[in-house]
Structure 1
Amino acid sequence: MLYPQHLTKFTKEHGDTLAALVCGVLLFLGWFTLHLGWLGWAMLLLTAAYVIGGYESAREGLTTLVKEKQLDVDLLMIVAALGAASLGLWRREYHLIIDGAILILIFAISGALEGYAMRRTERSIRSLMSLTPDTARILRQGREELVPIHQLQVGDEIIVKPGELIPTDALIVSGYSTLNQAAITGESLPVEKTVNDEVFAGTINGYGALKLKLHKPASSSLIQRVIRLVEQAQTEAPPSQEFIERFERKYALIIVTLGVFLAIMPPFIWGWDWETTIYRALTFLVVASPCALMAAIMPTLLSAIANGARQGILFKNGAQLEKIGQVRAIAFDKTGTLTTGELQVCEVIPYGKYSQTDVLTAAASLESYSEHPIGKAIVQAAANIDWVGALEVQAIPGKGISGIIQDQQVMVGNAAFIGEYVPELPQDLQNLTQFWEQEGKTVVWVAQTRREDGYEIVGALAIADMVRTEAAETIKRLRKLGVAEIVMITGDNQRTAHSVAQAVGIDRVYAELLPEDKLSVISDLQQKYQTVAMVGDGINDAPALAQASVGIAMGVAGSDVALETADVVLMADKLEKIAVAMHLGRRSQSIVKQNIVVALGFILLLLIGNFLGNINLPIGVIGHEGSTVLVTLSGLRLLK
């Protein structure tokens, strides 16, 4: 059931869309009743369509006129529509009133699309703000107490239990755990944290309980800085938008000035009678109305958007089609973008008499009791292998895990941990694992007790966030399309970042970056190349996605914030679709330019015909609407 407050909220958020819808319905009913000969009802319905559909445009146009002393297309549309209606009433040519209502409907739809874009921006900010909990569990006089985040004070002690979100940036004063920071810093592996380490709001605590101490105000946390950066980047109008707005106002000023001139001066200059003068002036306003120019753009862009959607490319607004076709530099995030974002076992090397199956069986038997992401990757790799359960399993934080399998003690962990039991690790295996580590992979050793005495090495595994199979080919295609520079920007370490960059063919790497650092890199690229695209998936990418000329997010791996902030979303996480999107952008702009030439050509011909007195208003309307239909059909070519 809808309550008054629900209707009020709906009207406030979707009033522009509702106005366009009601205007369209009233226009249809007015046209229908007019053809039935019910003139009174037709005039009433069409008047309502004018008022409801044109109110917002009239308000904006008058506001611009009064406050900025400038004319814009909104006011021109109202003048043209009212002129057509007045002439229709005067000459009893009521179809002219229909034409005026159509003008209003077109602008009402445009206003609804603009309102949607603004609401999308607001949603992205709300999504960012929802990434941290509203309350924090603090210690006061030895008792736990939940308090709102905004009431936290520097010096408060905060308790975070396993699996919970970190409520704000703070320092660890007690406890040990691993934190999933991928969404904030872009690091592909969970990071081990202990006393005196800093933790970030919005990161996910692992298996250990932590006691934190607030060392700076909650409003200064990293996630709050991300929110402010997104707000700032999204409110900055791109140069092309500013150019369009200036063009519209100049166009409107010229047309209205000429319309006033034609309504007053011809009787004094050329000796026209006043009826002919008013008739020509109103015809001028109708044929000079920029409907064909608007139709030259929107149907084309919407067709390209629909085409992209069928191929798994979601464009959030038409303006980005132009920009993505002009991209000269692209910045890629690493984790979840060039890589899959999921840890996998990529190498299994047995030692001595043991086989790969022996290594995986021993490791999976222990790691099946672990919640660590590395352990999960090992268990997944051994999914098709049968293993027996382990006994007395014990996790050693920061080192590894141990247990008893079939009466043998087994250890799985890093080299330092295994080295405590096997003092001399095999040199050839050490050389291999060092090579893996240089490639940014995490190495896990497996050892077990010998039948005689001591321990022996069973083998080693390499775990890594795997590079997407299509990444290297995508980089090649982008270079062939003329992209001048392709870089990687990531919060991960230098070694891992350079390894991935080398694998996919990227030369320039910016590693160990915080969100504001990524934003700075994008800004520097924009100063050099103007139109820059950013491809990412995490919360830490949101400011850079917003700052970039075109933000591209991974639809499956991407966080909610990245998806809301980006201009283009790759729904199936297929990197090769970036080149397809660039081709769509270039083709759509080519068609838009063709349509603009046709639209301006028709307007020019109609204006010349009007000045020479060779066309009447119905012919002018037919020419005006015909050009609109023609460029609309031209734009629909992109649906193929």
Structure 2
Amino acid sequence: MTLSRFRVFATNHTDALAAILCAVLVAFGWLALYANWIGLALLILAAAYVIGGYDSARAGVTTLVQEQELDVDLLMIVAALGAAGLGVWRQEYFLIIDGAVLILIFAISGALEGYAMQRTDRSIRGLMSLTPDTARLLQPNGQTQEVPIAQLQVGDTILVRPGELIPTDAHISEGYSTLNQAAITGESIPVEKTIGDEVFAGTLNGNGALKLTLHQPPESSLIQRVIRLVEQAKTETPPSQQFIERFERGYARVVVIVGILLAVLPPLLGNWNWETTIYRALIFLVVASPCALMAAIMPTLLSGIANGAKQGILFKNGAQLEQIGRIKAIAFDKTGTLTTGQPDVDQVIPAPGYSECQVLQVAAKLEAYSEHPIGQAIVTAAQTQLEEQLSSPDTVLTKLDTPTTIQAFPGQGILGWLDRQPTAVGQWQFVQAYNSACPPTLQARSEQLQQAGKTVVWVAQADQILGLIAIADRVRPEATGTITHLKTLGLVPIMLTGDNQATADSVAATVGIDRVYANLLPEDKLSLIRQLQQQYGAVAMVGDGINDAPALAQASVGIAMGVAGSDVALETADIVLMSDRLERIAAAVQLGKRSQRIVKQNIVFALSFIAVLIVANFVGGINLPLGVIGHEGSTVLVTLSGLRLLR
């Protein structure tokens, strides 16, 4: 690593470096004590105290001065320094190690919090990188000029070339194209756009050049609103976190106050001398320090994270492993999550007298000259069908000439001559103009398919309708089983999608989801997640697109698809399914529930052991080494208990 890269790493990972260096110093300090190099050991351990405890000490003092509150950070410093002071006073130097280990645990916790904050910054930067920094502004003389997006004004006209990202929300003033806007609106199939239609920043232009006129300032675009929503949702502290913070401060306040009282009252009210009283008070601070309590949680969660990683489930922090075990409802995006996000041939329905093979092969001959995603899906299906026919010796292949005089009609269909006959593929209104009336049964079937949210492509040749092809976004094969499994775990599945209601209802019926919300913008998904949280409490959200980012950030647990997911969704989510296997969601929920049980068991054990040590300190008269052994022993036992989650 070069010096410049090391400086950047050190700047962005100060907490992690402090924790690592503290761990190294504690280890060397222990070795020096073991070798009876007392002076060197004290010097090394003093450095470990300063490096590992600086941030916690500063946080504790700041909270005490500014908010007049005692927190666990301050308690840790008092307990650690008490152990160190008592160790030096009684020349029991291994007591200093106890305080150093306590500081090390808090240093690791601080490093994890720092990582979470950096992840939030990366998610915002990822959103901002989705739109270009400049746009081609059309001048009155017809020339274009590259200008920063921020300089654009309402009424300006910009040029977007084929294959480029739309720089800001606008209306099309000239041109026609298909736009892939699944990441923004959730629509599964690229949408055809022409004069007067609105386009969104961050969507991908297809094969047509567009002139766009701004109808609102760039900062009001949909993608900018998404950025602001993510920032707001990520900074909101959930109620569970607020409760934990209040508990920590209450615990610290009680322990510190009781420790002070124990150091002062016995000589005044009883027959203890000051040395005995201070000795007992310091033992109290050591045995009451939250080492075992903290070990009750972190080793368990880290073990669960490691277990999840083996199954292709990436937990970005331990809190979310615990949180997913508490969820009562789980919301799913549709496109790219429950479905593959790619248009596919769903059905081929031939007219009487024709076969599925004829319909598909005729359509594919023409669509091979089209760049439209639906046309590409038809070509792919025809190629697959042809490969299957080649592997079957009993199949008679359909032989067709190469089409000629190909002409595409944007938004309608494609026309050409095939086998010396005029052939049309496209919408019914387009095909009807070149052919006779449609068979009634086929027309009725077309209406049923459209009501189910499928796109219908008609195929005709000469004056005959050959049949129709239904195009749909393919449902993931594991989706139905996943929804069923989640229901058995007591969860309520819900669909939130930007796609139309008919398509959403069709997919929901296929996978077994009863509650569906469609035609949603990103802010609508965010609002619904908040409503669901009020109704159910903890709610998870599963998504893959940019439009899911605010909802993923707001949800109690955000789950992103690792392969199909956008960079923003991956950065914003708390859990990533690395192989896009939906069934791993149920595994993650079960892992979370198991971690909850183990954490609760460990907390009860840790608090019970602390209580026993406190009572033994004042009733049984244990000495400090025995108190430290009991304290550290309980920490080890709780840690080993947490490691059970590795299985």
Give the C-alpha shift of residue 534 in structure 1. Answer: 1.5
DSSP-derived class of the 2:582 partner: coil
Give the C-alpha shift of residue 526 in structure 1. Answer: 1.4
Q: Which residue of 1 aligns with 2:392?
A: none
Give the C-alpha shift of residue 106 in structure 1. Answer: 0.7
Give the C-alpha shift of residue 305 in structure 1. Answer: 1.6
* 2:172 partner amino acid: I
Q: Which residue of 1 aligns with 2:340?
A: 340
Partners of 1:362 and 1:305 lie apart in 2 by 53
Give the C-alpha shift of residue 7 in structure 1. Answer: 4.0
Pairing 1:349–2:359 present: no
DSSP-derived class of the 1:383 partner: helix
Which stretches in structure 1 are left out of the alignment for 5+ residues?
450-454
Q: Which residue of 2 aligns with 1:178?
A: 178
Identity of aligned residues (%): 69
Q: Which residue of 2 aligns with 1:474?
A: 482
Partners of 1:255 and 1:612 lie apart in 2 by 18
2:435–2:461 Cα contact (<8 Å) kept? no
Give the C-alpha shift of residue 388 in structure 1. Answer: 5.7
Partners of 2:429 and 2:173 lie apart in 1 by 26
Q: Which residue of 2 aligns with 1:203?
A: 203
Q: 1:388 to 1:597 in 2, by over 3 A?
A: farther
Partners of 2:422 and 2:3 lie apart in 1 by 67
- 1:48-91 Cα distance to aligned partner (Å, 9 max, x none): 11111111111111111111111111111111111111111111
Give the C-alpha shift of residue 574 in structure 1. Answer: 2.2
- 1:97-116 Cα distance to aligned partner (Å, 9 max, x none): 11111111111001001111
Q: Which residue of 2 aligns with 1:458?
A: 466
* 1:422 partner amino acid: N
Partners of 1:40 and 1:292 lie apart in 2 by 30
The within-5 A match list for 1:164-563 is 164-384=164-384, 385=386, 389-449=402-462, 455-483=463-491, 485-563=492-570
Q: Which residue of 1 aligns with 2:628?
A: 621
- 1:487-541 Cα distance to aligned partner (Å, 9 max, x none): 2111111111111122222222211111111111111111111111212111111
Match of 1:568 among 575, 589, 595: 575
* 2:313 partner amino acid: I
The within-5 A match list for 1:581-620 is 581-620=588-627
Is 293-302 or 335-344 further displaced after alignment? Answer: 335-344
Is 131-140 or 303-312 further displaced after alignment? Answer: 303-312
Partners of 2:452 and 2:620 lie apart in 1 by 78
Q: Which residue of 2 aligns with 1:39?
A: 38
Is 130-139 or 605-614 further displaced after alignment? Answer: 605-614
Give the C-alpha shift of residue 376 in structure 1. Answer: 1.3
TM-score by length of 1: 0.96
Q: 1:245 to 1:138 in 2, by over 3 A?
A: same
* 1:200 partner amino acid: F
* 1:581 partner amino acid: A
Q: Which residue of 2 aligns with 1:160?
A: 160
Partners of 1:233 and 1:523 lie apart in 2 by 10
* 1:501 partner amino acid: A
Q: Which residue of 1 aligns with 2:638?
A: 631
Partners of 1:90 and 1:323 lie apart in 2 by 45
- 1:211-239 Cα distance to aligned partner (Å, 9 max, x none): 01111110000000011111111111111
Partners of 2:254 and 2:596 lie apart in 1 by 26
DSSP-derived class of the 1:179 partner: strand
Is 382-391 or 245-254 further displaced after alignment? Answer: 382-391
Partners of 1:316 and 1:424 lie apart in 2 by 59
* 1:30 partner amino acid: G
Pairing 1:73–2:72 present: yes
Partners of 1:359 and 1:187 lie apart in 2 by 27
DSSP-derived class of the 2:292 partner: helix
The within-5 A match list for 1:108-123 is 108-123=107-122
DSSP-derived class of the 1:294 partner: helix
Give the C-alpha shift of residue 576 in structure 1. Answer: 2.1
Partners of 1:7 and 1:632 lie apart in 2 by 33
Which stretches in structure 2 are left out of the alignment for 5+ residues?
388-399
Is 22-31 or 420-429 further displaced after alignment? Answer: 420-429
Give the C-alpha shift of residue 419 in structure 1. Answer: 0.4
Partners of 2:205 and 2:12 lie apart in 1 by 37
DSSP-derived class of the 2:13 partner: helix
DSSP-derived class of the 2:365 partner: helix
- 1:102-147 Cα distance to aligned partner (Å, 9 max, x none): 1111110010011111111111111111111111111123211111
Partners of 2:383 and 2:14 lie apart in 1 by 54
Partners of 1:475 and 1:334 lie apart in 2 by 13
- 1:24-67 Cα distance to aligned partner (Å, 9 max, x none): 11111111122222222212111111111111111111111111
DSSP-derived class of the 2:494 partner: strand
Q: Which residue of 2 aligns with 1:18?
A: 17
* 2:101 partner amino acid: I
Partners of 1:561 and 1:633 lie apart in 2 by 37
Partners of 2:15 and 2:341 lie apart in 1 by 40
* 2:408 partner amino acid: A
* 2:330 partner amino acid: I
Is 36-45 or 438-447 further displaced after alignment? Answer: 36-45
Quote the RMSD (CA, aligned, Å).
1.6
Give the C-alpha shift of residue 407 in structure 1. Answer: 3.5
Partners of 2:19 and 2:320 lie apart in 1 by 24
Give the C-alpha shift of residue 389 in structure 1. Answer: 4.1
Partners of 2:275 and 2:367 lie apart in 1 by 91
2:186–2:545 Cα contact (<8 Å) kept? yes
Give the C-alpha shift of residue 554 in structure 1. Answer: 1.7
Partners of 1:486 and 1:438 lie apart in 2 by 23
Moved over 6 A (4+): none
Give the C-alpha shift of residue 9 in structure 1. Answer: 3.0
2:189–2:342 Cα contact (<8 Å) kept? no
Q: Which residue of 2 aligns with 1:452?
A: none
Is 229-238 or 570-579 further displaced after alignment? Answer: 570-579
Give the C-alpha shift of residue 353 in structure 1. Answer: 3.8
Give the C-alpha shift of residue 459 in structure 1. Answer: 2.3
* 1:44 partner amino acid: L
DSSP-derived class of the 1:382 partner: helix
Partners of 1:597 and 1:286 lie apart in 2 by 19
* 1:311 partner amino acid: Q
* 1:133 partner amino acid: P
- 1:173-219 Cα distance to aligned partner (Å, 9 max, x none): 11111111111011111111111111100011111110011111100
The total of aligned residue pairs comes to 633
Partners of 2:418 and 2:132 lie apart in 1 by 42
Give the C-alpha shift of residue 579 in structure 1. Answer: 1.9
Partners of 1:68 and 1:46 lie apart in 2 by 31
